[in-house]
Amino acid sequence: MKISLITACLAGVAHSKMAAVAIKKEALLRGIEIDVEEQGGHKIPVRLTQEQINASDLVIIAKAVSISGKERLAGKKILDVTVSFALRNPKTVLDQAIELINKK
């Protein structure tokens, strides 16, 4: 199983980072492969490539602001949550993600 994660917050300094860390940790615990992109304040240090997105079963978007580069996600399964929810409940987010992947 492979998941892409895009987090976005106001300044791209605290929230996006913290949510990314929380979800990544939880995903690694469960043995799920995960690629992370953090956005906010114009900063996209690691940009997910089209190949990475195509290869993943699902894209999780944890956002407090609109994300850029939406066109890359066309046709993918998307789980849309707020960044503060993802930060507090990484378990619930991944549960939902797995449920969504298994639902055909």
Catalog residues that contact another protein under the rule CB under 8 A. Answer: 9-15, 18, 40-42, 63-66, 70, 84, 87-88
58 vs 87, beta carbon nearer another protein? 87
The catalytic residue among 3, 6, 8, 9 is 9
DSSP-based three-state secondary structure for 45:
coil
Q: Can 58 be counted among the known catalytic residues?
A: no
Least Å from the CB of residue 2 to another protein: 27
Q: What is the separation, in whole angstroms, between the first and last Cα of the chain?
A: 15
- Shortest Cβ 29–another protein spacing (Å): 13
What's the rounded Cα separation, in Å, for the pair 42 and 104? 35
Dihedral angle computed from the Cα positions of residues 43, 67, 101 and 89, in that order, rounded to the nearest 10 degrees: 70
Task: Report, as residue numbers or ranges, the catalytic residues.
Answer: 9
